Structure 1
């Protein structure tokens, strides 16, 4: 475990496993690197995975969203993630972390040995005329309005209802609720990037240039947009598999870690 300065941010990171293959795992919004332990420890003889806490998450320092350009947080986390890569890695990301992983794979395909995307929230990959995109866009407008008006607790409740692990808001520890409320301006910056794609992950020829084996994982109890996103991304990648975990919602690393471990192992075998 270590805490050092990367891209001007105090970043906490840890190693999971002692295997010969280097891996990098990127967690979801409002998550932390610790969420990867039950998923990756069973693969510890095969991979040595680095997992870091994004700014304003876990044990890393806070990040102030005030005045930040749309997509600034995604760009920052992408640069931090890239700072851990010095040879081809098995790249694994969940939710927003999967969007960051995909951005790295599009920008530097030679740095990726295999790519596992768990519930990637790159909504920009979906045709904007799709009914599920339209429905989600309306929810996003409401979330952005609540954040802009400073109703951060209401925004946090709504966000966790749609994208959490199914734990009722009132059942969460008070300190955790307070942290989620504090993180809402950052969530707004992240959500904007998911829709608008300022990093141009979806640019023509981008995903098509990924030559590593890719596994996209979603749950059959996830928000309805997720299988649509998974298929939209998969349609543009040559070597790809899409897996749906029965009974799983968005927080697959927390609720279905064993099944996810098996799917990652399958993708490792293909590379």
Structure 2
């Protein structure tokens, strides 16, 4: 583990997996940590070197200090990691993000497009795209609103653990069950949950503005969007709406997977990356 602090209001813990020539920076989902990439990186270890960091309030990084927008703060941490480790010394690199981490890598790509060769967003939670005017699945939108309101009301009523459990039930892998998780894992998720709730303005309202035409115009690199066939239906709506706004985009689905596909289906995810990256190389030629 290495602590990255230069230029940051708070340091973050970083980790490296693999030893391959392709440089990749990966950002994990909410309630997880950088170790979530271990399975995928192990499969690709001879092809890629994956650098990741624990988002604020996650893993071994400190609790968020309550200042600024977490989407931006974590994007700044990712860029600081690239600079501290000199990861772009041989040219642009690849970004991968999962769930809220996918919203972070989009912000990183917009802030420093010169550093980014390709952008992979796995189940990006840009719920602000799933509006009543755009969705082709109104029931999916209503289910999202209903489930989120239940979680948020539980949280605001002071039962953080139960709210975390409800959130994990909706977006986690579904196994092991909450009561079967080690106490340390449950405690870690409860610790992270206030930061997750603080991100509502970014995922439901796009407070940072990463989905504006001006910001999206900066995303000229090849993009891969991945979702799971068994994920919440709203994710399919988000993918469709986001793909329509990107200049160079490929969409792929892992039919047997849910929202946590980089963790539950690392081999299938690796296969999609192995199919996508050669296309990136050809587009550069």
**Structure 1-normalised TM-score?**
0.91
Deviations 1:65-109 (A, max 9, x none): 4xx56xx21111011011123432100000000011112223332
Asked if the contact 2:173–2:264 (Cα under 8 Å) also holds between the matched residues in 1, the reply is yes
Provide the rounded CA distance (Å) in 2 between the counterparts of 1:116 and 1:94: 9
1: CA distance between counterparts of 2:142 and 2:110?
26
> 1:2 maps to which residue?
2
CA change 1:181–1:206 in 2 (3 A) is same
Corresponding residue number in structure 2 for 1:90? 94
Between the two proteins, the alignment pairs up a number of residues equal to 267
Alignment of 1:226-241 (within 5 A): 226-241=235-250
Confirm or deny that 1:122 pairs with 2:126.
yes
1:1-271 alignment, distance < 5 Å: 1-6=1-6, 7-65=8-66, 68=67, 72-86=69-83, 87=88, 88-129=92-133, 130=135, 131=138, 132-167=140-175, 168-271=177-280
Bigger mean CA offset, 156-165 vs 189-198: 189-198
CA deviation string 1:217-260 (max 9, x = no partner)? 11011111111111111111222111110220111111100000
2: CA distance between counterparts of 1:154 and 1:246? 30
Q: For residues 156 and 29 of structure 1, do their structure 2 counterparts lie closer, same or farther at Cα, with a shift above 3 Å needed?
A: same
- Shift of residue 46, structure 1, vs aligned partner: 2.9
TM-superposed CA distance for 1:116, in Å, is: 0.8
Quick one: distance in 2 between partners of 1:74 and 1:193?
7
Tell me if the contact between 1:123 and 1:195 (Cα under 8 Å) persists in the aligned partners.
Answer: yes
- Matched with 2:283 is none
- Cα pair 2:4 2:81 within 8 Å, conserved: no
Q: Which runs of 5+ in 2 are unaligned?
A: 281-285
Secondary structure in 2 matching 1:270 = helix
Whether the aligned pair in 1 keeps the contact of 2:23 and 2:50 (CA below 8 Å) is yes
Q: Aligned partners of 2:23, 2:188: CA distance in 1, in Å?
A: 32
Q: Counterpart of 1:80 in 2: which secondary structure?
A: helix
Q: 1:256 to 1:25 in 2, by over 3 A?
A: same
Q: Secondary structure at the match of 1:84?
A: helix
Q: Helix, strand or coil for the counterpart of 1:209?
A: coil
- Regions of 4+ moved over 4 Å: none
Deviation of 1:47 after TM superposition, in Å, equals 2.5
Would you say the 8 A contact 1:213–1:267 is kept in 2?
no
- Structure 1 CA distance, aligned partners of 2:42 and 2:217? 31
Q: 1:41 Cα shift?
A: 2.7
Q: Is the 8 A contact 2:58 2:188 kept in 1?
A: no
Unaligned runs of 5+ in 1: none
Give the distance between the partners of 1:63 and 1:111, measured in 2 at CA: 26
Taking the aligned partners of 2:219 and 2:72, their CA distance within structure 1 comes to 20
